[in-house]
Amino acid sequence: MLITRTNVSRAPCRRCHILRVLLLMVLGVVLVALVAKESFTLIGGIQPIMFGYLFAGLAVVTFIMKLGYYYYQKRQK
């Protein structure tokens, strides 16, 4: 007998959201590196790789903050 679930949520799962954010960050780094090379010659010391470091740094900082919050919540229970 075929058993089906009736309460199927159509909202994307948490993993899907995380994966989409990661892919958008990677796409942002690639676009900045490809499109803005010529425009950075007008601005002295800024290079496209700095935006890559910025995106990656924000991801690491966000991860550390969420991990700390997770352990804080776990300790409170």
Angle in degrees, CA 71, 16, 56, rounded to 5: 65
Residue type, 34: L
Single pTM value for the model: 0.44
Contacts of 52 (CB under 8 A, 6+ apart): 29, 32, 33
Distance CA 55, CA 62 (A): 11
Give pLDDT, residue 9. 64
pLDDT digits (tens, 9 = 90+) for 14-52: 888 888 988 998 888 778 777 777 765 666 677 778 888
Return the pLDDT at 69: 94
Nearest to 60 by CA among 72, 47, 52: 52
Quote the tokens at residue 75.
């300790």
